[in-house]
């Protein structure tokens, strides 16, 4: 059920209107349903919990009360769902740091603190009436007890409640986060993508690390080397051969 609507005319695109729900299946799905009507670009769907939150690779995203779950609608100039998904990792990490968690960005867009995941992004490209849209959904473990997350997730996850003494309301976190995303999107619209990917490269803590990645059926071990202009992680294997990695399992080796 919708429980509120917030407007902020100071934002350029993202977060000028926020629809607040108590519970939805998935904010990405609600945002997609809204595409059937004539919605403004930048519209945000925010929910206090999700009954069927989704993560990357078709995984579930545990969404208990206390966490932050929000999706927004973009109509980018190019079909850039993957690249935008990467870039949005930067404002998420910035917001976490602002509120006291010195998180880093693990490729593609996991916000990680001391090797434990604290936030994730699911960015999907969809056509509606021949217009390309990106639905970008962000889940942040804000005011959640670690024990409320599934047992199999707990060893690799953390929450702001666990890491920061100070209570941060989801509303406050979302407000700051949307300001950062709005700025990033305005840069995206006005800057060459190579420049933004350079920023991303500088912030991605996977670069320079020895990693093991699955590409299709193959396993590649080598050094995370660069970010290509299509948003792929370039891995240089031990023979110096370069491989482009997008989706799959990525393990940081010690
Ligand atoms: C991942 O790291 O696997 C991505 C997680 C994305 C979760 C968010 S929560 C808000 C939005 N709605 C969803 O169903 N998923 C995203």
- Blockwise average pLDDT, block size 10, the chain, 254 residues: 96 98 98 95 98 95 98 94 96 98 96 97 95 97 97 97 94 98 97 95 96 91 95 95 92 88
Report the pLDDT value the prediction gives residue 231, as an integer from 0 to 100: 95
Ligand 1 center–CA 237 separation, angstroms:
31
What distance, in Å, lies between the first and last C-alpha atoms of the chain? 46
Q: What is the pLDDT of residue 217?
A: 86
Show the ligand 1 pocket: residues with CB < 6 angstroms.
26-28, 50, 53-56, 59, 61, 69, 71, 110, 120-122, 137-139
Looking at residue 96, its pLDDT comes to: 98
The pTM for the full model equals: 0.96
Ligand 1 site-directed mutation target among 47, 52, 69, most atoms within 8 Å of CB = 69
> Is residue 29 within a helix (H) or strand (E), and if so which, with residue range?
helix 27-34
Of 63, 82, 153, nearest in space to 117 by CA? 153
pLDDT of residue 79: 87
Q: Which of 77, 75, 108 is nearest to 90 (CA)?
A: 108
Q: Which pLDDT value is given to residue 145?
A: 96
User: Cα(109) to centroid of ligand 1, in Å?
Assistant: 11
pLDDT at 254: 74
The rounded Å distance from CA 60 to ligand 1 centre is 8
Confidence at residue 27, expressed as pLDDT on a 0 to 100 scale: 98
pLDDT of residue 126: 96
């Amino acid at each position: 059920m919708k429980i509120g609507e917030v407007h902020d005319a100071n934002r350029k695109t993202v977060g000028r209107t926020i629809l607040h729900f108590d519970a939805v299946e998935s904010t990405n799905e609600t945002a997609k349903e809204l595409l059937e009507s004539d919605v403004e670009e930048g519209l945000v769907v925010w929910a206090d919990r999700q009954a069927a939150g989704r993560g990357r690779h078709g995984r579930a995203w545990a969404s208990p009360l206390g966490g932050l779950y929000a999706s927004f609608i973009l109509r980018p100039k190019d079909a850039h769902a993957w690249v935008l998904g990467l870039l949005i990792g930067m404002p998420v990490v910035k917001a976490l740091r602002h509120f006291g968690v010195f998180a880093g960005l693990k490729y593609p867009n996991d916000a990680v603190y001391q090797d434990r995941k604290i936030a994730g992004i699911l960015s999907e490209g969809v056509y509606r009436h021949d217009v390309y849209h990106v639905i970008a959904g962000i889940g942040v473990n804000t005011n959640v007890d670690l024990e409320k997350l599934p047992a199999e997730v707990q060893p690799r996850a953390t929450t702001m409640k666990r890491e920061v003494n100070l209570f941060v309301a989801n509303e406050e976190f979302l407000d700051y986060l949307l300001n950062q995303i709005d700025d990033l999107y305005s840069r995206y619209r006005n800057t060459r993508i190579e420049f933004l990917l350079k920023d991303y490269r500088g912030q991605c803590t996977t670069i320079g690390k020895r990693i093991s990645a699955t590409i299709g059926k193959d396993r590649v071990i080598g050094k995370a080397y660069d970010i290509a202009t299509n948003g792929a992680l370039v891995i240089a294997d031990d023979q110096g051969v370069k491989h482009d990695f997008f989706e799959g399992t990525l393990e940081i080796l010690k």
